[in-house]
A and B are shown apart, each in its own frame.
Chain A
Amino acid sequence: MSDAAHKAMWEALDLDIEAHDALLAVLGKFYGDIYMAQEGRLKGAEYLDFVLSEVHGLRIKELQDAKAAGKKIVGTFCVFVPEELTLAAGAVQVGLCAGAKAGTELAETLVPRNTCDLIKSFIGFKLARICPYTESCDLVVGETTCDGKKKAYEAFAELAPMHIMEVPQCKAPADRALFRAELVRYKEALEKLTGKAITAEALAEATRTVNAKRRALQRLSALRAADPAPISGRDALLVNQISFYDDPIRFTAKLNELCDEIEGRIAKGEGVAPAKTPRLLLAGCPMAVPNWKLPYLIESSGAVIVGEESCIGERNTRDLTDETPAGLEAMLDALCDRYMKIDCACFTPNDERLEHIAAMAQSLKADGVIHYGLLFCQPYAHEAMKVGKAMAAAGLPYLAIETDYGMEDAGQLKTRVEAFVETLA
C-alpha cells in the first residue's frame, strides 16, 4: 500500500511519515485478511481493491491537483453535510478518517476517555498527523448530531479550519426552519471559501450528480435481496465507505458496472454464499474505513450480511433530493426536505427508523437483525433497546452488540454472533 512516489506528497502535507507507514502496513494486512481472502468475489471488486490500495496515494494526489487548480477541499464526518452544495461551489467533499484506533492517547488529552472511538479516531488522526485527507482540507464541517461530537469540534477547531452546522433534534416546522437557515449559512461559508457565488445551474447539476450516486447505491441495495447473496456484506460496506471519498462521477460509473456484473450473477443463480445461508441486516452506528471488525466476524460465522441500516449505508442513500424545483430558494427548500428525512438517532422521537429497519429486513429477506452500537454512543445505545422491541413485535430475531475499535473482545463477539446464527438455522 505504501508507495515511495507518494512520499514527497505526504511530507509536503506534514504527515508523520514513520507513523503513517506503520498505519498503511497495518491497514494493508487487515485488508488482505478481511477482503482479499474472500472467495467468489466479483470481478468488479478490483476497483474497490485499487481505490483502497491508493486511498492515501492516488486519491490524495487528485486532491492536491484539484487544489493546485484552485479547487477547495471540504472534509465531513456526517451525512447531514449537503454534498450538493459543496459540489455546486466547485469544491471537493471527502469523508474524513475515523474508523481506526489511532493516536488514542493523544486524543484523550483533548476529549474525555469515555468518548466513542469514532470521535477519538478523528482527533487522534489529526494529532498524530497520519490522515492525508484531514491535512488536505481547506474546511472541515462539523455538525451537532451528538454531544460527544459537538464538544469535540470545539477542541478540533483549534487544529483545523471548521464550520459547524446545527442539526435540530426534532422535526417540527421550527426545526425545519432552523435547518433551512443552516443550509443558507453553509452555502455562504462555501461562497466565502471559494470566492464564487453558488448558482441555481451549478446546484441543479450538483444535485443530479449526487442523486446519480445515490441511485447507483440504491440499485446495489435492491440487488442484495437476491438469494444466494450476490455480494458479501463486507464488499457492499466497502462500496458505501468509498462513496464518501472517491470522485462521485467516477464512483457512480464504477458502481453501475459492478451492479451490471451482479445482475449477471443473479441471472445465473450464483452468489458469494450458498442459497439459504442465514441472511442478516446490520443496523446502527456508522462503520468508517477500516472498521470492518463486526462484518468480518459475522461473515466468518456462517452468515451473510444483506444490508447496512447505517449512515454508511441506507441512511445516506435512501432519499433523493427533488430535482424539479427551479430557482435557488426552491432548490434549498428541496434540500431541506431531503435532509430532514434522515432517521438519525439524534432526533426525538425517531420512530421512522424502527419502521425503516423492519421494512429493510422484509425487502432484503433478512432472517435476523444485528444492531451495532459503538461503545459510548448514547443515542444509538438507547435506540438499540427500542429496535429490540420493534424487532420482537415484527417477529425478527435480534442481537444487540456494543463494541469499539479494539480487538480484545473478538472472541466473545464471535461466540455471540455464532450462537445467534445457530438459532437461525
Chain B
Amino acid sequence: MTAYAGLDIGSRSIKLVVWQGGGVAASRRLPTTFDAVGQLRTLFAAGVPERLAVTGYGRELARELYPFARSVTEIKAHALGAGSLFPQAATLLDIGGQDTKAVSLLPGGRVGRFEMNDRCAAGTGKFLEYTATVFGLSVEDFGRLALTGDNPPTISSMCTVFAETEATTLIARGVSPANIALGLHKAVVSRTMAMLSRVGLAAPLAFVGGVARNPCMVRLLAEAADTPLLLPDEPDMTGALGAALWLRSVAP
C-alpha cells in the first residue's frame, strides 16, 4: 500500500504524518531548533519517504534537501487536514509558533478567504511564549495560570516587546500574575477574533496549531466566538496530515 508522508516544518517544531491505507500509519514531532537540517536528518535516519509533501515556513529548505518533494502552503495543508478531521467545519483557525491564520473553509477542505498576520509575531504562539518568560513560566503553565485569573486588566499593546513593558508596569501596580496572564490571553483572542471576522466567521470553528493545546486560549476563544470549538487530539499535526492528504490527491 502506498504511503504518503506530509512534513510540516514550523518555526517551533517539525511534524511528520504518514498516511497509508486510509489512516495515519505514523506520526512524529520534534523541535525545529536552530538546526532544522540536522533535525530532518535525525527524523529521516532510517530513510526519506519516497512520496513526500512539505509545508510550513521551512518548505523551501526541505525542497532543497529533497528536490523530489512536492510543496504546498500551510494554509492549504491546514485546511485539508482540518477538513478531513472535521468535514463539518466552516472556519479554521490555526495559531502556530509565528503565524496566525484564519481561513473560511469551502466543502472538501478547500480554502475560501484567508487572513494571516503580517511580518510580526503579535498574537501568535511566540507572543504567549515570550510573555510567559516574564513570569518565569513554561508556556503550558502560563495557560493554566491564566485560567485561575478572575479580573483581567486590558492589555492594549499587541507588540510583544511593548506587552512585556505593559505587564511589567502591571506587576509593579500589584496586579496578580494570574490576572495579567489572563489579560494577555484575552489580548491574543481579541486580535484573533478580528482576523476571524474578516474572513466571515461561521460555526463550526476548528482550532488547530500548537496554541490549541493552551486550555485558556480554547476557553476564551469559545466564549468570544460563542460556539464550541472543534479540537483535534493532536492540534499541531493538522498541517502535516493535510500535506499527506494533499499529496495523495495530486499524485496518487
Contact = CB atoms under 8 A, between A and B. Distances in A.
B119 A409 contact: yes
Contacts of A415: 57, 73-75, 99, 116
Nearest to B114: A419
Contacts of B116: 412, 415-416, 419
A48 B132 CA distance: 53
Contacts of B72: 422
Contacts of B57: 411-412, 415
A21 interface: no
B54 to A, nearest CB: 12
A412 B111 contact: no
Interface residues of B, number: 15
A419 B111 CA distance: 8
Contacts, number: 41
Interface in B64-111: 72-76, 99, 110-111
A315 B49 CA distance: 51
B118 interface: yes
Contacts of A422: 72-73, 75-76, 111
Interface string A400-425: 00110010110110011011101100
B99 A412 contact: yes
Contacts of A409: 118-119
A416 B118 CA distance: 10
B118 A419 contact: no
Report which residue of A406, A409, A423 has the largest number of chain B beta carbons within 10 angstroms of its beta carbon.
A423
Nearest to A419: B75
Given A411-B57, A412-B99, A423-B111, A418 B73 contact: yes
A77 to B, nearest CB: 26
A422 B55 CA distance: 13
Given A411-B57, A415-B57, A419-B111, A402 B75 contact: no
Interface string A87-120: 0000000000000000000000000000000000
Contact of A408 (B111, B114, B119): B119
B44 to A, nearest CB: 23
A207 B100 CA distance: 52
A411 B57 CA distance: 7
Contacts of B75: 415-416, 419, 422
B119 A412 contact: yes
A383 to B, nearest CB: 17
Contacts of B117: 412
Report which residue of A403, A406, A408, A419 has the largest number of chain B beta carbons within 10 angstroms of its beta carbon.
A419
A409 B118 CA distance: 7
Contacts of A419: 73-76, 111, 114, 116
A409 B57 CA distance: 11
A423 B112 CA distance: 7
Interface of A: 402-403, 406, 408-409, 411-412, 415-416, 418-420, 422-423
30 contacts: A402-B118, A403-B118, A403-B119, A406-B119, A409-B118, A409-B119, A411-B57, A412-B57, A412-B99, A412-B116, A412-B117, A415-B74, A415-B75, A415-B116, A416-B114, A416-B116, A418-B73, A419-B74, A419-B75, A419-B76, A419-B111, A419-B114, A419-B116, A422-B72, A422-B73, A422-B75, A422-B111, A423-B110, A423-B111, A423-B114
Closest 10 CB pairs of A and B: A409-B119, A419-B75, A419-B73, A418-B73, A423-B111, A422-B76, A415-B73, A416-B116, A411-B57, A419-B76
Interface of B: 57, 72-76, 99, 110-112, 114, 116-119
